[in-house]
Amino acid sequence: MRTVRIGAGAGFASDRIDPAVDLAQRGQLDYLVFECLAERTIALSQLRKRQNPALGYDPMLEPRMRAVLPACRKHGTRILSNMGAANPRAAAQRTIEIAQQLGLRGLRVACLEGDDVLAHAPSFLPFDDEPLPDSTQILTANAYLGADAIAQALATGADVVLTGRVADPSLFVGAFLHTFSWSQQDWNRLGQATAVGHLLECAGQLTGGYFADPGFKDVPHLERLGFPLAQVSEDASAQLSKLPGTGGVLDLQTCREQILYEVMDPSAYLTPDVAADFTTLRFTQQEQDRVHVCGATGRPRPDHYKLSIGVEDGYLAEAQISYAGPGALARARLASSILRSRLEHLHPEQLRLDLHGVQAIFGESASPDGTPAASTAEPSEIRLRAAARFRDPAHPALAEQRAAELTREVESLYLNGPAGGCGITSSVRHNIAIVPGLIPRDCVRTTVILLEVP
Amino acid sequence: MILRQIAHARAGDKGRLVNISVIAYLAQDYPLLVHQLTVERVTALFAADLTQSVTRYCIPGLQALNFVLHRRPEDSVTRSLRIDAHGKSLSFRLLSLPLHPADPE
């Protein structure tokens, strides 16, 4: 029986590289997938590309490719990744250069284009109850492409496929579609395949990352967490595992947490390929760190592609200062009230002043059900954090200046605030917000370009 | 007793939405989750940050519940001024919920 062995080499742009190298060397993989493109990253990459047309792909492309290309070439493992970000063609050209330097003659690299749909803005439709942004505020727009586009790229025979915006599970489903030549209306199979892709797309989150809670959920050797791989059968059922000797854990608990991660309605997980139903899915622990998954189902895919629309969101200023020892809370509160007064004339669109250690994360009523907190002891160390958004669409430079002024007001607390303030950090950044949208399928045309190392 | 003693949880984000899965360690405790983690109770816990009641999905095959939280537009993951813009810590807020000891289930 034919199977596909596929590994997850990254679950986000800053992910660790060593576990991917281990998978490339020891995994005997057909495919190694790197999911590296967060919601906002594509928009920031588009802006980088506008400043320099040779950029706009993932800055970690080079170190990742250098680390895994030799082993992948040796074992015939094909690489799939959305590290192309806003510029898959430049990413492919860079990968060719890297492969040339590594002496990988004949390596073929494909780039998938067509997700950038900014030119079709008049055709955009709102997503659920989210209003579409004003067209003058739209900076970027990318459609989430599906498994069919990945299969199209693999059909060229490429050893490496680099894409921009693709639905995360579809990176995996595309490899299955290419291998097994499934009907693209086989909704149950695509639903199960999407479950497998969804389980793998965050890499270490399936094998014990984002999971450990000492005394409740202990994870062995999290410091050398291994990334997952799957052996997928033609019916899209799969054995999930990780390499022997790696740290982490892969069991029913990690699988149940990850299948529901970033899922809203578990009976209708929408991708460009299918409306997957995870409620029918079954996990079976076969042995230590080996889980079988089957039984997810599906219904017809959505009529539209989902969009990630980047919009102007002004400047975000952030600054922090700490107070410690007796009276830390009173001094932090005094600093907070001083700041509120000193920042008033800057007219931030939104301002937060939080006391970390007191209410910054869960809010003032931090105890559930409104019952008094178990301990009323004052924390001995508190960090005051000021964060604000400044927006002036007609004069963005003025908004940026006001943001910088906030950071100076926090810094001045050293000399002009309560006693013992320490450890100030601050930053100002231009913010691009992402809002969802939809676009009719016929507005999107995908193309594949194949390059080869001479 | 708090929820953390019988269940584990994971938070995920998608734009304005946050989901929190709550999974019983033991299948026998799943009915207790269904009975005690009502829409009303979970909505009340997060009320200050929500625009509407939470949505609850039951997935018996995974001995899990899934809650969807609707946040304000200025609290979407790419706009939020919060230190926890994603809402990753919210699973632990839910796990701190006290369970009623003398539950009829």
pLDDT exceeds 60 at position A71: yes
Q: Which of A316, A368, A387 sits opposite B45 (nearest CB)?
A: A368
Any CB–CB contact under 8 A between A235 and chain B?
Answer: no
> What is chain A's length?
454
The per-residue pLDDT for A183 is 97
B7-24: pLDDT as tens digits:
999 999 999 999 999 999
Least Cα distance to A192 among A144, A236, A228, A159 occurs for A236
Q: What is the mean pLDDT of residues A401-415?
A: 98
Least Cα distance to A450 among A125, A154, A150 occurs for A154
Alpha carbon distance A137, A118 (integer Å): 12
Helix/strand/coil (H/E/C) assignment for every residue in A247-311? ECCCCHHHHHHHHCCCCCCCCCEECCCCEEECCCCEEEEEECCEEEEECCEEECCCCEEEEEEEE
Residues facing A238 on adjacent strands: A232, A293
- Give the chain A residue nearest B57 (alpha carbons): A265
Contact A298, A277 (CB under 8 A): yes
Count of beta carbons in the 10 Å neighbourhood of residue A384 = 29
Q: Which residue has the tokens 């790419």?
A: B78
The per-residue pLDDT for B105 is 46
- A361–B63: do the CB atoms touch at under 8 Å? no
In what order do the strands lie in the sheet containing A228-233? A282-287, A290-294, A238-242, A228-233, A3-10, A31-34, A78-81, A160-162, A108-113, A447-452
By percentage, how much of chain A surpasses pLDDT 90? 93
The domain locations on chain B are 3-84
Q: Which of A130, A263, A433 sits opposite B79 (nearest CB)?
A: A433
Give the confidence band of A368 by pLDDT, cuts at 50, 70, 90: low
Question: A453: distance to nearest CA of chain B, Å?
Answer: 39
| Mean pLDDT over each residue of chain A, to the nearest integer | 96
- A262–B74: do the CB atoms touch at under 8 Å? no
Least Cα distance to A176 among A282, A65, A80 occurs for A80
Q: What angle do CA A240, A245, A248 make, to 5 degrees?
A: 60
Give the confidence band of A405 by pLDDT, cuts at 50, 70, 90: very high
Alpha carbon distance A293, A282 (integer Å): 6
Would you give the end-to-end CA distance of chain A in angstroms?
36
Global pTM value: 0.96
Count of beta carbons in the 10 Å neighbourhood of residue A109 = 27
pLDDT exceeds 80 at position A371: no
B35-50: pLDDT as tens digits:
999 999 999 999 999 9
Q: What angle do CA A278, A279, A282 make, to 5 degrees?
A: 80
Residues facing A111 on adjacent strands: A162, A449
Q: What is the SS3 assignment for A361?
A: coil
Alpha-carbon distances, residue B79 vs A48, A336, A384, B4 (angstroms):
20, 22, 20, 30
Q: Which of A263, A360, A432 sits opposite B12 (nearest CB)?
A: A263
Does ipTM come in above 0.90?
yes
pLDDT exceeds 50 at position A81: yes
Question: B35: distance to nearest CA of chain A, Å?
Answer: 17
Chain B CB contacts of A406 below 8 Å: none
Return the number of CB contacts < 8 Å for A and B. 127
Alpha carbon distance A429, B18 (integer Å): 24
In what order do the strands lie in the sheet containing B55-59? B7-14, B17-24, B64-70, B55-59
A276-295: pLDDT as tens digits:
999 999 999 999 999 999 99
Alpha carbon distance A408, A349 (integer Å): 18
Helix-strand-coil percent breakdown of chain A, rounded to 5?
A: 35, 30, 35
The per-residue pLDDT for B28 is 97
pLDDT exceeds 90 at position A122: yes
The per-residue pLDDT for A59 is 96
The per-residue pLDDT for A365 is 62
- A316–B15: do the CB atoms touch at under 8 Å? no
Residue type, B32: L
Q: Give Cβ neighbours of residue A27 (< 8 Å, ≥ 6 apart).
A: A5, A7, A77, A229, A243
Chain A CB contacts of B25 below 8 Å: 253
Q: Which of A210, A266, A352 sits opposite B66 (nearest CB)?
A: A266
- Annotate A98-124 with DSSP letters as a single string: HHHHTT-TT-EEEEEE--B-GGGGGG-
| Mean pLDDT over each residue of chain B, to the nearest integer | 95
Give the confidence band of A364 by pLDDT, cuts at 50, 70, 90: confident
- Give the chain B residue nearest A366 (alpha carbons): B93
Structural domains of chain A in order of their starting residue, each with its CATH number: 3-120+143-308+442-452 (no CATH), 312-436 (3.30.70.600)
Q: What is the mean pLDDT of residues A392-396?
A: 93
Give the confidence band of A372 by pLDDT, cuts at 50, 70, 90: very low
- A388–B81: do the CB atoms touch at under 8 Å? yes
pLDDT exceeds 80 at position B101: no
Q: Could you tell me whether strands A78-81 and A160-162 are parallel, antiparallel, or unpaired per DSSP bridges?
A: parallel
Angle between helices A396-411 and A328-343 (to 10 degrees): 150
Alpha carbon distance A153, A172 (integer Å): 13
Give the confidence band of A40 by pLDDT, cuts at 50, 70, 90: confident
Q: What is the mean pLDDT of residues A39-64?
A: 93
Alpha-carbon distances, residue A42 vs A115, A275, A350, A433 (angstroms):
11, 24, 25, 11
pLDDT exceeds 90 at position A5: yes
Between positions 138 and 177 of A, the ones with CB within 8 A of B are: none
The per-residue pLDDT for A132 is 95
What does the block give as tokens for A381? 């160390």
Specify burial of residue A337 (Cβ count, 10 A radius: 0-12, 13-18, 19+).
exposed
Q: Which of B45, B55, B77 sits opposite A39 (nearest CB)?
A: B77
Question: A260: distance to nearest CA of chain B, Å?
Answer: 6
Residues facing A312 on adjacent strands: A432
Question: B68: distance to nearest CA of chain A, Å?
Answer: 6
Give the confidence band of B100 by pLDDT, cuts at 50, 70, 90: confident
The per-residue pLDDT for A275 is 98
Q: What is the mean pLDDT of residues B63-74?
A: 96
Chain B CB contacts of A211 below 8 Å: 10
Chain A CB contacts of B84 below 8 Å: 361
- Give the chain A residue nearest B59 (alpha carbons): A279
Residue B104 gets the label, from left (phi > 0), alpha (psi -120 to 50) or beta, of: alpha
Contact B93, B67 (CB under 8 A): no
Least Cα distance to A236 among A186, A273, A201 occurs for A186
What does the block give as tokens for A96? 């060719």
- A260–B62: do the CB atoms touch at under 8 Å? yes
Chain B interface residues (partner A, CB cutoff 8 A): 4, 8-10, 12-17, 19, 21, 23, 25, 44-45, 48-49, 55, 57, 59, 61-64, 66, 68, 74, 76-79, 81-84, 89, 93, 96-98
The per-residue pLDDT for A39 is 86
- A368–B98: do the CB atoms touch at under 8 Å? yes
pLDDT exceeds 80 at position A305: yes
A109-121: pLDDT as tens digits:
999 999 999 999 9
Give the confidence band of A375 by pLDDT, cuts at 50, 70, 90: low
Alpha-carbon distances, residue A300 vs A135, A179, A198, A272, A438 (angstroms):
31, 21, 18, 10, 17
Residues facing A33 on adjacent strands: A8, A80
φ and ψ at B54, to 5 degrees?
A: -65, 155
Least Cα distance to A269 among A306, A316, A219 occurs for A306
